[in-house]
C-alpha cells in the first residue's frame, strides 16, 4: 500500500490525524469556518448580501481542498450543500435548499422541531426490535432484555440534550418505542 491507512489499525487514527492536519489551516486561509469530527469535515460561512461572495468563497475553498487531497493521494468524498435556508438566489440562479440537514446523524430542520429526527429514531428502533424478534426464541429473557435496552437506549440517548423543548408528540413517540 503506497497511500492511505489500513482501516481498523492501531496507528490508523494517529496517522490519519497527522496527515490531514494541514486541512484546517487550508480552510482557515479562505476565511471559512469548519467543524471536524473523525474523518468528517463540514465547512460553513455566514451568508450576507450578496450571497454570491459567500458561495464563491465556499466553492474556492472546496476546489483547494480537492486539489490538496489529490496531491496527497487521498480522496475527498463530499459536496457543496446549502442548508437551513429555503432558497438562495445567486448570480441570477435560484438554488433550492433542502428542508433538513443531517449533522453527525442528527436530522435538523429549519424550525428545529426534530420531527424528522424522532421519526428516524422510532423507525430505526422498530427495525432492530423486529430483528430481535427473529432470534428471541434462541436467547434467555435476561439476554433479550439486555439487547433490547442496548439497542433502544443507545439510539434514544444519542444527542438527547438537543431534545430539550421537543414537542410532546415527539416525546411520546420516543417513549412508546422505549416502552
Q: Say yes or no to pLDDT of 2 above 70.
A: no
User: How many angstroms from the chain centroid is the CA of residue 61?
Assistant: 20
Residue 87 per-residue DSSP state = E
Domain boundary among 43, 77, 96: 96
Provide the number of structural domains found in the chain.
Answer: 2
The pLDDT tens digits of the residues spanning 86-135 come to: 444 444 555 556 677 777 788 888 788 899 999 999 999 999 999 999 99
Would 54 be classed as within a structural domain? yes
**In terms of domains, do 149 and 105 share one?**
yes
**In terms of domains, do 35 and 59 share one?**
yes
Give the pLDDT band of residue 70 (cuts 50, 70, 90): confident
**In terms of domains, do 89 and 26 share one?**
yes
Per-residue pLDDT, 51: 64
Q: What is the 3-state secondary structure (H, E, C) of 81-131?
A: CCCCCCEEEECCEEEECCCEEEECCEEEECCCCCHHHHHHHHHHHHHHHHH
Would 3 be classed as within a structural domain? no
Q: pTM for the whole thing?
A: 0.58
Give the pLDDT band of residue 16 (cuts 50, 70, 90): confident
Closest residue by Cα to residue 101 from 32, 168, 35: 35
The pLDDT tens digits of the residues spanning 35-54 come to: 777 777 777 776 665 666 77
Domain of residue 24, residue span: 12-96
Whether residue 143 is preceded by a cis peptide bond, meaning omega within 30 degrees of 0, is no
Would 155 be classed as within a structural domain? yes
Amino acid at each position: 500500500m503506497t497511500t492511505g491507512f489500513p482501516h481498523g489499525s492501531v496507528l490508523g487514527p494517529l496517522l490519519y490525524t497527522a496527515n490531514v492536519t494541514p486541512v484546517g489551516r487550508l480552510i482557515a486561509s479562505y476565511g471559512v469556518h469548519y467543524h471536524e469530527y473523525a474523518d468528517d469535515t463540514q465547512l460553513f460561512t455566514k451568508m450576507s448580501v450578496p450571497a454570491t461572495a459567500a458561495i464563491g468563497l465556499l466553492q474556492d475553498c472546496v476546489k483547494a481542498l480537492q486539489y490538496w487531497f489529490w496531491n496527497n493521494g487521498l480522496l475527498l468524498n463530499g459536496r457543496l450543500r446549502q442548508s437551513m435556508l429555503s432558497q438562495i438566489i445567486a448570480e441570477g440562479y435560484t438554488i433550492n435548499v433542502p428542508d433538513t440537514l443531517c449533522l453527525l446523524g442528527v436530522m435538523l430542520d429549519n424550525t428545529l422541531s426534530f420531527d424528522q429526527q424522532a421519526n428516524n429514531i422510532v423507525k430505526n428502533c422498530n427495525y432492530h426490535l423486529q430483528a430481535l424478534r427473529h432470534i428471541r426464541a434462541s436467547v434467555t429473557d435476561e439476554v433479550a432484555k439486555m439487547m433490547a435496552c442496548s439497542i433502544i437506549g443507545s439510539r434514544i440517548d444519542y444527542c438527547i440534550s438537543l431534545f430539550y423543548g421537543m414537542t410532546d408528540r415527539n416525546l411520546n413517540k420516543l417513549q412508546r418505542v422505549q416502552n
